[in-house]
C-alpha cells in the first residue's frame, strides 16, 4: 500500500512539473510558421485557414438573407462589417506571406470578436448561441500555433460569450435546459478538449526537441530556442560555450557503450548543476554539448571554468559500476565565443561556430582546457 501511495505521489509531482512547464512554454510561433511554410505538402494550411474566412463570410451572408437575420439596421451593418472582415481574412491568408506572431494574434482576436458580434445580432437566440461553436475553430489554430496562455485567454472569451448569449436566450423565454446544454458543450470543447489537445501536442514536441539519454535539448531543440534571439534587434552580450569530452571513444572501446552512456548522462547532470536553468544547454550529438546565454566575457570565462572542473570531478558512476575511478578519467575541452554587445549582433550560428573552433584549439593543446574567443566589437557574420 505504501508503495502504491509513493508511486501516486511521484506521478502527481511529475504531472505538476509537466503542467507548469507547459504553461510557461513560450511556443516558438516563428519557428513553427517557418517549418510549416518550408514543406510544400503542408503549405495548404494557409489555404485552409483562409478558407475559414470565406466560410464565415458565406454564413453571414446567408443569415442576412434569412428571416432570422439581424432585425435592426445597426445589426445588419455590423453583419456586413463581419462579411468584409471575413473576406479580407481570406485574401490575407491566400495572397500574403505567413503572418508574424503579432499579426496572427491580432487576426484571431479580431476573428473571435467578429464571431461573437455576428452571433449576438441573430434574432433567433438559440441559433445565435449555437453559432459560437465557430470559436472552437479559431481555438484549434491557437492550440497548435500559440502557447497555453493565449489559449486560456481564448477559452475565457469563449465562456464569456457563451454565457452572455445563453443568458439572453433564456431571458426571452428560451429553454434553460437547452442553454445549459450549450454551455456544457462549450466547456467540453473550448475548456477541456482544446487545452488537452495542446498539452498532448506540447508533450510530443518536447520529445522531438529533447535528447532522450540526457534529457537536455537536442540539436533541433537548441535551434528552436535560438530562433527568436535576434527578433528584438537589440545588441546585448551573448556567449556560446562548446564542450567536447576528451578521448571519449577510448571509454566506449574499453568499457562498452553502456558505460559511455552512463558517463554522458552524468556529464549532463553536472553541466546542468554548473550552469543553472537560465542558460540554454544542449547535447549536439555524441560527446558534444553546447551552452548559450547572455554572458559577458568575465562571466563566460568563469562559467566555462566551472564546467571544465565539473566534468573532471572524480567519477562516481565508475565507482558505482565496481571499477577503479582512476581507470576512467573524464575531462573536457571547452571553447568559448563571447560577443560583448557592442556593434551588430552576430548570429547564434556564428557564435556557435567560433566556440566550436575555440574548443578544437583546446583539444589540440591537450584537452582539459578552456580557450576563449572574445568577439569585441564584432559585426554580424
Residue of 213, 164, 216, 171 lying closest to 186 (CA atoms): 164
Claim to verify: residue 47 and residue 194 sit in the same structural domain: yes
pLDDT value at residue 225: 75
Let me know if residue 333 belongs to a domain: yes
How far is Cα 213 from Cα 282, in angstroms, rounded to an integer? 12
Claim to verify: residue 192 and residue 316 sit in the same structural domain: no
pLDDT value at residue 232: 46
pLDDT value at residue 376: 47
pLDDT value at residue 215: 83
Last residue in a domain, options 174, 190, 209: 209
Claim to verify: residue 49 and residue 180 sit in the same structural domain: yes
Last residue in a domain, options 187, 209, 231: 209
Let me know if residue 381 belongs to a domain: no
pLDDT value at residue 324: 56
Claim to verify: residue 231 and residue 281 sit in the same structural domain: yes
How far is Cα 117 from Cα 110, in angstroms, rounded to an integer? 10
Last residue in a domain, options 167, 189, 209: 209
How far is Cα 139 from Cα 161, in angstroms, rounded to an integer? 14
Give me 202's grid cell. Answer: 506540447
Let me know if residue 380 belongs to a domain: no
pLDDT value at residue 356: 93
Let me know if residue 331 belongs to a domain: yes
Q: In terms of residue numbers, what domain contains 179?
A: 2-209
pLDDT value at residue 336: 95
Question: For the chain, where are the E strands, in sequence order?
Answer: 238-245, 280-285, 288-293, 332-339, 369-375
pLDDT value at residue 235: 54
Q: ∠ CA(276), CA(282), CA(284), 5° rounding?
A: 155
Let me know if residue 268 belongs to a domain: yes
pLDDT tens string for the chain (381 positions)? 555 665 665 566 667 777 888 888 877 787 778 777 766 656 688 888 999 999 999 988 988 888 777 878 888 898 899 999 999 999 999 998 889 999 999 999 999 999 999 898 888 888 888 889 899 999 999 999 999 999 999 999 999 999 999 999 998 888 899 889 999 999 999 899 999 999 998 888 777 788 888 888 898 888 877 765 554 445 567 899 999 999 898 888 888 888 888 889 889 999 998 888 788 899 998 999 999 988 888 899 999 999 999 998 876 655 555 555 556 688 999 999 998 766 667 788 888 999 999 999 999 999 999 999 876 444 444
Claim to verify: residue 83 and residue 189 sit in the same structural domain: yes
How many other C-beta atoms are found inside a 10 Å radius of the C-beta of residue 171?
A: 10
Let me know if residue 294 belongs to a domain: yes
Claim to verify: residue 151 and residue 244 sit in the same structural domain: no
Claim to verify: residue 181 and residue 253 sit in the same structural domain: no
Q: How many domains does the chain have?
A: 2
The residue length of the chain stands at 381
Claim to verify: residue 279 and residue 195 sit in the same structural domain: no
Contact 306, 268 (CB under 8 A): no
CA–CA distance from 354 to each of 161, 226, 347 (Å)? 54, 16, 11
Residue 376 has what DSSP assignment?
T
Please report, for the domain that includes residue 365, its CATH number.
Answer: 3.30.70.270
Contact 129, 165 (CB under 8 A): yes
Q: Which residues pair with 253 in a beta bridge?
A: none
Claim to verify: residue 80 and residue 146 sit in the same structural domain: yes
Claim to verify: residue 176 and residue 48 sit in the same structural domain: yes
Claim to verify: residue 177 and residue 270 sit in the same structural domain: no
pLDDT value at residue 257: 84
How far is Cα 272 from Cα 280, in angstroms, rounded to an integer? 9
pLDDT value at residue 2: 52
Let me know if residue 214 belongs to a domain: no
Q: Which residues pair with 333 in a beta bridge?
A: 244, 369
pLDDT value at residue 375: 62
Could you please report the per-residue DSSP string of 107-141? HHHHHHHHHHHHHHT-SSHHHHHHGGGHHHHHHHH
pLDDT value at residue 57: 92
Claim to verify: residue 152 and residue 72 sit in the same structural domain: yes
Let me know if residue 225 belongs to a domain: yes
Q: ∠ CA(286), CA(290), CA(292), 5° rounding?
A: 165
Residues contacting 190, CB < 8 A, separation 6+:
135, 136, 139, 154, 155, 158, 159
Amino acid at each position: 500500500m505504501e508503495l502504491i501511495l509513493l508511486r501516486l505521489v511521484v506521478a502527481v509531482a511529475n504531472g505538476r512539473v509537466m503542467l507548469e512547464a507547459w504553461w510557461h512554454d513560450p511556443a516558438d510561433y516563428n519557428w513553427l510558421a517557418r517549418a510549416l511554410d518550408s514543406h510544400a505538402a503542408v503549405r495548404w494550411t494557409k489555404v485552409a485557414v483562409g478558407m475559414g474566412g470565406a466560410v464565415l463570410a458565406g454564413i453571414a451572408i446567408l443569415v442576412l438573407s434569412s428571416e432570422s437575420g439581424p432585425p435592426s439596421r445597426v445589426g445588419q451593418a455590423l453583419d456586413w462589417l463581419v462579411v468584409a472582415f471575413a473576406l479580407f481574412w481570406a485574401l490575407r491568408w491566400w495572397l500574403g506571406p505567413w503572418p508574424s506572431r503579432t499579426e496572427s494574434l491580432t487576426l484571431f482576436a479580431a476573428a473571435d470578436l467578429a464571431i461573437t458580434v455576428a452571433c449576438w445580432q441573430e434574432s433567433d437566440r438559440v441559433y445565435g448561441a449555437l453559432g459560437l461553436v465557430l470559436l472552437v475553430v479559431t481555438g484549434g489554430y491557437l492550440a497548435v500555433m500559440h502557447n497555453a496562455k493565449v489559449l486560456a485567454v481564448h477559452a475565457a472569451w469563449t465562456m464569456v460569450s457563451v454565457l452572455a448569449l445563453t443568458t439572453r436566450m433564456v431571458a426571452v423565454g428560451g429553454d434553460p435546459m437547452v442553454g445549459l446544454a450549450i454551455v456544457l458543450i462549450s466547456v467540453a470543447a473550448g475548456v477541456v478538449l482544446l487545452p488537452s489537445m495542446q498539452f498532448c501536442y506540447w508533450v510530443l514536441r518536447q520529445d522531438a526537441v529533447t535528447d532522450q539519454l540526457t534529457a537536455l535539448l537536442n540539436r533541433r531543440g537548441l535551434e528552436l530556442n535560438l530562433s527568436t534571439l535576434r527578433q528584438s534587434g537589440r545588441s546585448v552580450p551573448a556567449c556560446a560555450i562548446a564542450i567536447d569530452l576528451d578521448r571519449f571513444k577510448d571509454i566506449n572501446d574499453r568499457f562498452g557503450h553502456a558505460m559511455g552512456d552512463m558517463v554522458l548522462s552524468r556529464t549532463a547532470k553536472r553541466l546542468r548543476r554548473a550552469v543553472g536553468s537560465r542558460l540554454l544547454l544542449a547535447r549536439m550529438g555524441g560527446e558534444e554539448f553546447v551552452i548559450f546565454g547572455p554572458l559577458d566575457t568575465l562571466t563566460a570565462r568563469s562559467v566555462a571554468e566551472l564546467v571544465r572542473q565539473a566534468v573532471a570531478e572524480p567519477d562516481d558512476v565508475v565507482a558505482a559500476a565496481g571499477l577503479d575511478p582512476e581507470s576512467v578519467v573524464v575531462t573536457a575541452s571547452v571553447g568559448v565565443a563571447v560577443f560583448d554587445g557592442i556593434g551588430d549582433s552576430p548570429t547564434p550560428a556564428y557564435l556557435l561556430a567560433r566556440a566550436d573552433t575555440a574548443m578544437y584549439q583546446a583539444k589540440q593543446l591537450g584537452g582539459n582546457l578552456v580557450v576563449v574567443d572574445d568577439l569585441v566589437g564584432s559585426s554580424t557574420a
